Structure 1
Amino acid sequence: MSKLPDDNFSNIIREIIKKSLFTERQIEIIAKRKNLVDAQFTISKGAFYRQVAQCEDKFTALCYSWILLKGLGVLDDDDIDVINRLSEQVSVIKSSDIFPEREEEIMSVIRVLLQRTCKL
């Protein structure tokens, strides 16, 4: 298992998390439950499993939303392609060293593409 993204990349991940449905702690829990990281939590077992349940509920709701929007034609194949390409780029970037001055440029590109894709 790996650790969560290093300091050079954590700013980008944190910015994406801030705009997501999940908290940073929830992302850590999801990654741990999927065996993607080896994270230790300083919370009680009860609190941890409550957060696991919250993560599962949010993740399930996200999947239902994705199915609904795709099924109704709100998301078309081009939209999904843009989101997939952005996801692939984040995967590549997370294992790369990013200079701090490039972080805002990367986030700006993500913002612009998502604004265009999500415009109603």
Structure 2
Amino acid sequence: MMMKKIETDSAPAAIGPYSQGVAAGDFVFFSGQIPLEPVSGELVPGGIGKQMRQVMANMGAVLAAAGLDFFHVVKTTIYLTDLGDFAVVNGIYGEFFSGTYPARATVQVAALPKGAAIEIEWVAFRG
């Protein structure tokens, strides 16, 4: 099976030994995105709403680098440092998906890289 690295300067660069995304057959697996501003690499200030919107912008940029969009997303995993943020995150998330929503899990974690409040990883299908 051929694998292809997916990367773009329009989303934050990987902060470790991993790829922004990897295409494998008809599926593309994307590493978690946290709310970093792509150029500065700094965490977006301003609370969970602004952080969630930055994560979704980063997701859109990496999807576009793979020639895909949110329609192609089949599975997401959302990591939150506070499940009390779920309603805000869920509302913004719903702005980006319609029709058949991706399968999803949301979990609370003790901490995320760079002090982020949210991280989302996802899988897309090219078919």
Instruction: Assess same fold via TM > 0.5.
Output: no
TM-score by length of 1: 0.23
Bigger share in strand: 2
TM-score by length of 2: 0.23
Task: Answer with 1 or 2: which has the greater Rg.
Answer: 1
Q: Greater RCO between the two (CA within 8 Å, min separation 6)?
A: 1
Bigger share in helix: 1
